[in-house]
């Protein structure tokens, strides 16, 4: 009775606990989200940087093969003869660098220096698409 | 007399400590995230700068001096250095061997000593007769 | 006696005040955390856009590097070394097909069509949103410039390997 008359009704016991629990929850969620977002972006950035490095490694190998061709020797794996050669250097599991080059002594002309996908491509045949045929 | 004040005070004190602890841990997480994010962004720029330099070198047939004259940067004893938004990228040509010229490109972020990103490039050189 | 009651009174006020200060501090910390998270995601998104625009075009060019297969021009096909459209041409069953890469209406677009025929910039598929995309070709060096939505410009140079005759 005395409390009711004189007191200022301070916050009930547990008020600040509730506040702190809520705040800690929020902060934890923010921290987790930050980490998750940053890790995800870093993974894609890593993949991009790795792809570039892979391409240059294959590119350097292809140039090495070309140098050998220019010096007269035909390395293993190179097809063709009489000046026109073609070969392929793997870039990664799903890509390879295909080269077609015309060599004439020490001179050369590059016809193709193309990165090509070697991954299995499964056409999606679940829909019956009209192929243009009449009857 | 049966004031709840000391109890509440105690409780608040404990909660302050709990919160301070949790906040310290979360701040660590934020700082780590920030560091990863910055490093990732710096590396993205380094990749582009290194790639451009490698390609420009190849387009000039492996002649660093010619490339520097055409695309900027300075050459000193076979080392071609160029600034990019975020640091410095340099190309060091190796010796020709069997008609093949190789070079290594390193991108170093401003304020670092270690390369953020490196590439090895090759191009055709004069054939040995 | 009265003093006794006021003591309670003051205790109550004091605790309430302390609670208020505490609550404000907590709010401040939460807002700082939210701000930090926002800055982080913005930086990541900007970094993604900046790197992807340019690396995407580079990957497409490397997938199409054949003699005469890559050139810069106007959208309708006239070659122009400072054009706004990149053409990647390929031969399929004897017919020529162009992949045009260009910027139109806020996004980098890609359009794969046969070489003849009239097409409009709206026909292309949106790849990535950006503020601008430009190409410039001099000799065997192709320069790609892209400005992302945040205004940052990235430039990537590519050396077209094909068609490079060289007499060392």
Q: Say what the ipTM of the complex is.
A: 0.86
Let me know the angle formed at the C-alpha of B88 by B84 and B89, rounded to the nearest 5 degrees. Answer: 95
Question: Residues of B32-63 as b/e, b for ≥16 C-beta within 10 angstroms?
Answer: ebbebbeebbbbbbbbbbbbbbbbbbbbbbbb
B8–C15 CB contact, under 8 Å: yes
**Which residues fall within 8 angstroms of residue B90, CB to CB, at 6 or more apart?**
B79, B80, B81, B82, B105, B106, B108
Q: How far apart are CA A17 and CA C91, in angstroms?
A: 72
Per-residue pLDDT of chain C (168 residues; tens, 9 = 90+): 555 555 667 777 887 888 888 889 899 999 999 999 999 999 999 999 999 999 999 999 999 999 889 999 988 878 888 889 999 999 988 899 999 999 999 999 999 999 888 888 898 999 999 999 999 998 889 999 999 988 899 999 999 988 754 433
Give bridge partners of residue C138 from the DSSP assignment. C141
Question: Are C162 and A111 an interchain contact pair (Cβ–Cβ within 8 Å)?
Answer: yes
Residues of chain B falling short of pLDDT 50: 1
Whether chain A has a CB inside 8 Å of the CB on B21: the answer is: no
CA distance A132 to chain B (A): 45
Using CA atoms, how far apart are residues A69 and A85, in angstroms rounded to an integer?
A: 9
- Helix (H), strand (E) counts: chain C: 1, 8
Q: How far apart are CA A111 and CA A101, in angstroms?
A: 5
| Residue B86, pLDDT score | 87
Give pLDDT, residue A22. Answer: 92
* B48: in domain: yes
Q: Check A7 against B3: CB less than 8 A apart.
A: yes
Question: Is A123's pLDDT higher than 90?
Answer: no
Following CA atoms A62, A68, A73, A77 in sequence, which dihedral angle do they give, to the nearest 10 degrees? -20
User: What span, in angstroms and rounded, lies between the C-alpha atoms of B86 and B39?
Assistant: 11
> CA nearest A79: which of A99, A51, A95, A61?
A99
B129 assigned to some structural domain? no
For B24, the domain range is: 5-124
| More reliable by pLDDT, A72 or C66 | C66
C153: which 2 tokens? 């410009």
Does pLDDT of A81 surpass 90?
no
Mutate to test the interface with C, among A3, A25, A32, A34 (most CBs of C within 10 A): A34
As for how many domains chain B has, the answer is 1
Determine the Cα–Cα distance for residues B62 and B54; give it in Å rounded to an integer: 9
User: Do the chains contact at C15 and B19, CB–CB below 8 Å?
Assistant: no
The structural domains of chain C, with segments of one domain joined by +, span 1-162
Q: For residue C161, which residues of chain A lie inside 8 Å, CB to CB?
A: 110, 113
- Name the residue ranges covered by the structural domains of chain A: 15-117
Interface of C with B (CB under 8 A): 4, 8, 11-12, 14-15, 18-19, 22, 26, 29, 33, 36-37, 40, 43-44, 46-47, 50-51, 54-55, 58, 139-141, 154-159, 161, 166, 168
pTM: 0.86
């Amino acid at each position: 009775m005395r409390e009711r008359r004189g007191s200022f009704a301070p916050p009930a016991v547990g008020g600040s606990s509730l506040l702190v629990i809520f705040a800690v929850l929020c902060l934890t969620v923010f921290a987790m989200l930050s980490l998750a977002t940053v890790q995800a972006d870093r993974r894609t950035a890593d993949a991009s940087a790795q792809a570039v490095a892979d391409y240059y490694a294959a590119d350097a190998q292809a140039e090495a093969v070309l140098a050998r061709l220019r010096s007269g020797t035909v390395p293993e794996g190179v097809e063709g003869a009489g000046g026109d050669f073609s070969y392929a250097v793997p870039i990664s599991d799903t890509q390879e660098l295909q080269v077609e080059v015309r060599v004439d002594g020490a001179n050369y002309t590059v016809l193709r220096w193309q990165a090509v996908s070697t991954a299995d491509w499964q056409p999606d045949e679940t829909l019956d698409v009209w192929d243009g045929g009449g009857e | 007399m049966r004031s709840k004040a000391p109890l509440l005070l105690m409780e608040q004190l404990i909660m302050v400590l709990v919160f301070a602890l949790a906040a310290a841990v979360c701040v660590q997480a934020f700082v780590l995230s920030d560091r990863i994010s910055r490093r990732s962004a710096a590396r993205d720029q380094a990749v582009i700068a290194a790639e451009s330099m490698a390609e420009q070198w190849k387009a000039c047939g492996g002649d660093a001096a010619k490339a520097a004259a055409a695309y900027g940067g300075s050459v000193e004893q076979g080392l071609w250095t160029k600034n990019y938004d975020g640091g410095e990228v340099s190309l060091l040509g190796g010796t020709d061997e069997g008609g093949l010229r190789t070079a290594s490109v390193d991108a170093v972020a401003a304020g670092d000593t270690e390369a953020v990103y490196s590439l090895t490039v090759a191009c055709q050189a004069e054939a040995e007769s | 006696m009265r003093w006794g009651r006021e003591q309670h009174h003051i205790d109550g006020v004091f605790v309430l005040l302390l609670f208020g200060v505490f609550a404000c501090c907590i709010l401040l910390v939460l807002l700082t955390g939210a701000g930090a998270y926002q800055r982080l995601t913005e930086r990541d998104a900007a970094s993604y856009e900046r790197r992807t625009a340019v690396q995407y075009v580079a990957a497409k060019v490397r997938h199409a590097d054949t003699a005469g297969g890559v050139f810069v021009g106007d959208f309708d096909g006239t070659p122009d070394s400072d054009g706004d459209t990149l053409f990647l041409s390929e031969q399929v069953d004897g017919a020529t097909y162009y992949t045009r890469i260009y910027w139109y209406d806020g996004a980098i677009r890609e359009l794969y069509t046969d070489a003849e025929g009239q097409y409009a910039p709206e026909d292309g598929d949106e790849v990535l949103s950006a503020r601008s995309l430009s190409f410039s070709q001099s000799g065997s060096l192709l320069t790609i410039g892209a400005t992302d939505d945040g205004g940052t410009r990235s430039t990537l140079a590519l050396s077209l390997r094909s068609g490079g005759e060289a007499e060392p």
